[in-house]
Structure 1
Amino acid sequence: MLAVHARYRGKEARRALLVRRSAEALSTLEGVGEFQVLGVEDICAAVDSPAALCDTVMALLSDGSWAVGIGVVPGTTDEDLTRSTASGALRGGARAGTVKVASLPKGTSTLADDIAAVFALMGHVLSKRTLEGREATSLVRSGLNQNEAAEELDISKQAMSQRLQAAGWQAESAGWRLAVNLLTRAEAGRYD
């Protein structure tokens, strides 16, 4: 089972409201359970699949104001255990834009480190993205092809291609696939 725990590290003065609204918005993602609000700046939810977890972490990283903990507990359906594992990943504090992974059983730190590393790379790509790049990648991620996305933004296909290139779309896509593959292995208990 998989879970995510996020801690708001931004500078918003009305952080409790922002955290609550973020929890509500993230709970609408496919495959994501209802986010629980824990205190003023923490949210946590169980997640159904590696793809849903990856989408959730990417949404948090793209904001740039969240520290993220991932809990991976193979072979269980105990949501409380998995959420507490995700929360444990953030013990000792974490900076905004970072992802830490806690997994059971012990001794699987290499795979956990690999998952955290791929999210660090994707977080870097996301942090460099312009507003135009965010618009372009959001449309393509939602299922539109480049032609449809270009039409939606009222730009040429060439301009759309340039925006996606500048936004690091290929790197994001490759990183997303790698993260999903690593999370799938971790969830299945395959640490080879």
Structure 2
Amino acid sequence: MVDDMNCGMLTKGLVLGLLGAVVLSSGCTTGPSSQITELKNSGFMSLWNTYADCKSTANLAQATSDLTQLRSASQIVEAREGFVLPLPTHLERLVANPTSRVAVDVEAMAAACALHTGELAFSQGQTDIARDLLVSVIKLHKEESSYYVLKAKTLLAKLGHGVNVSFNAR
């Protein structure tokens, strides 16, 4: 009788142990996929590589292409910020907006690339292109007195034509 009880306890313990091992191993495989993380990292790294390429190139066409990619990416990030979760009004105030999943300021990267591209255009005698790029930085950041705006205004003054841009509303 004692042997039957020990055998039953041993069987019960073995079954519980196997069940626990199955639960633990399935829990490890149902977590977030490393492929998803790699995909997110590759998207970020692609963006970062485009930015680094823009800042280091002396080729105006390449810098312009990189700038186009960065500006497109910044518009995609902006579009995600308009996310609206359809909830009843009384619950809406309890829900926070989803956080941005990009670890960097894509608009700042695009502005820095635009400044570099403008400098390249200026150094290669393409003053109209340089002016357009620098004015675009000022327009995109008109509500800020950021480094990018100050740098763009300084470079515009160097163009010799000294563009005076004012965004005062009347």
TM bin, normalised by shorter chain, reads: under 0.3
- Tell me the TM-score normalized by structure 1: 0.23
Which structure's residues are more often helix, by fraction? Answer: 2
- Tell me the TM-score normalized by structure 2: 0.25
Please identify the structure whose Cα radius of gyration is greater: 2
Which structure's residues are more often strand, by fraction? Answer: 1
